[in-house]
Amino acid sequence: MIKDIHAFREELDKINNWWTLKEVKELKEKRLIKRQAFSRVLKELDANRVIIVTGPRRVGKTILVKQTIQELLTKTHQQNILYYSLDDPSLFTYSDNLIKDMIDYFLENIAKDGRKYVFLDETHLYKGWYKWIKSYYDRYDDIKFILTGSSSLALQKEANMYLQGRSLSIELYPLSFKEFLSLNEIKSELNIKFEDITRNVGKLDYFKIKKEYTQIERDFKEYLLVGGFPEWFEIKDLDKWFIRLMEDIPKKAIYEDLTNLFGLKNPKILELILSFIIAQQSRILSYKTINEIAGLDRNTLVNYIEYLKSAYLVIEVLKYAKSIRTQLKSMKKYLSIDQGLRNALIKNYEINENNIGFIIENVIGLHLFRIAKIKNLKLFYIRKDKEEIDFIIKNEAMIPIEVKYKQNIKEEDARTIKEFVKEKKLKYGIIITKDLFKKETNILYIPAWLFLLCE
């Protein structure tokens, strides 16, 4: 029930300013690009499924929503688009059942004939959201719901239970290097696809490619240091940026989102686990090793790590093995969801020879993880007889990838991946390098920056 209809309507009008302006005012004030997820959302707007967009805090979910609204304004009546963020307290004052009251008021007093679009930001913060979305989904065939959230575990668990077969999940991650260049207003002239490298590495003009790198080298180093959260382009101050990363992402994710969602009694332990995993990024860890700083029973520890994964703070890479049981029982490799966030957490404010190897491995791992998600592939690491290969990306075929970011790569550096390629009779393996770009039998040597530009 709405307690003060006049005040309720005033707040709705402010939030949904396109009802009168016929444009999304906030988009004019920001430097923006259209992310890959944007085209995926647009393709789904006419389908009869609830779109659920998840990703870490500050990754750009709200901007994605507002860009979608701007696109819809060219196709539908502006009053058929409703938006509200459920971490905004302004409307809760006037309602004790906000989702129901807001949608009912929208349908009865604002919306026109035709298809309606309801955008709810940070949906996971509203207890019982799924019951109301399911109710309206079942009763109205002319309402399209687009939901966002910063906890995949909270949203997907309930979506799977109440919206099974009725929803589509789209994940939004920090900027890829290519997106970072675009937001930095750097247009790369290279248009090399990964297939070009695998088929024609010996024929490509590396002098032209290297010339391109001289133009983006500064941006590459910037990306390794500050990471891929879009807000960097509004701040552009390192000291302020690292403080902002700490305050806005892990602190709020742990002490607000996860604590409220899962009733954590001691969120400080979760922060300690995150700090330990982040400090050990790209290393293979056992639960026993992680638990040395947590002191939890095994089930609680596993749950805590799942919470960190669901809040998009860490990524877990499983060991490659024939059986899923072996994969789950083996030690895991952990990546930070964003290199800038990791640098902020461990107070690593510069790139140098001592840390760049771990940084490059994490950034390459994130790039592969994004590709695997988009293309429905699997990402693993390999360890056999104390020998390790950093990553393997797999569908029917598989590609092993080893990161060796240094000036001179010796025969010993390539031995493990060469033996694996030979043993498994693979078409090729990849070694990520600092500068070396060549093909040697069935091993491709590709500079890290170039590999990151190949989607």
332 token code pair: 């895991």
List the single range of 26-40, 61-75, 214-228, 251-265 with lowest mean pLDDT. 26-40
- Which pLDDT band holds residue 51 (cuts at 50, 70, 90)? very high
Q: Is the pLDDT of residue 200 over 70?
A: no
Answer for the pair 54, 337: CB distance below 8 angstroms, yes or no: no
pLDDT given at position 63: 94
pLDDT given at position 198: 59
CA distances from residue 379 to 189, 306, 332 in whole angstroms, order as listed: 30, 18, 12
Average pLDDT over residues 226-241: 93
- Which pLDDT band holds residue 285 (cuts at 50, 70, 90)? very high
What percent of the chain has pLDDT above 90? 62
Distance CA 249, CA 246 (A): 6
Average pLDDT over residues 188-196: 56
Q: Is the pLDDT of residue 194 over 70?
A: no
109 token code pair: 């007093």
pLDDT given at position 277: 94
- 5-172: which CATH architecture? 3-Layer(aba) Sandwich (3.40)
For the residues of 378-424, what is the DSSP string, one character each?
Answer: EEEEEEETTEEEEEEEESSSEEEEEE--SS---HHHHHHHHHHHHHH
pLDDT given at position 124: 85
Q: Is the pLDDT of residue 341 over 90?
A: yes
Q: Is the pLDDT of residue 444 over 60?
A: yes
85 token code pair: 């963020």
Distance CA 399, CA 282 (A): 18
pLDDT given at position 329: 87
pTM value is: 0.90
Residue 188 CB: number of other CB atoms within 10 A?
A: 16
Distance CA 26, CA 66 (A): 8
178 token code pair: 């290519």
397-439 pLDDT tens trace: 899 999 999 878 888 989 999 999 999 999 889 999 998 888 8
298 token code pair: 């095994």
- Sign for the pseudo-dihedral over CA of 283, 288, 294, 298: positive
pLDDT given at position 201: 57
Q: What is the DSSP letter of 55?
A: -
Residue 91 CB: number of other CB atoms within 10 A?
A: 19
Averaged pLDDT score across all residues of the chain:
89
pLDDT given at position 338: 95
pLDDT given at position 207: 65
> Nearest 5°: phi and psi at 93?
-60, -30
142-176 pLDDT tens trace: 999 999 988 777 777 777 778 888 888 999 999 99
Answer for the pair 223, 229: CB distance below 8 angstroms, yes or no: no
Q: Which residue has the tokens 């399209």?
A: 144
pLDDT given at position 257: 86
pLDDT given at position 421: 93
Q: Is the pLDDT of residue 230 over 80?
A: yes
- Which pLDDT band holds residue 193 (cuts at 50, 70, 90)? low
Spans of all domains in the chain: 5-172, 178-453
- Which pLDDT band holds residue 391 (cuts at 50, 70, 90)? very high
List the single range of 92-96, 203-207, 318-322 with lowest mean pLDDT. 203-207
List the single range of 199-203, 347-351, 374-378 with lowest mean pLDDT. 199-203
Q: Is the pLDDT of residue 245 over 80?
A: yes
Average pLDDT over residues 436-451: 88
Residues 6+ apart with CB under 8 A from 144: 45, 51, 115, 116, 117, 118
What percent of the chain has pLDDT above 70? 94
If one compares 365 and 386, the residue with the highest pLDDT of the two is 365
* The pairing of beta strand 438-440 with beta strand 387-394: unpaired
Q: What is the DSSP letter of 2?
A: B
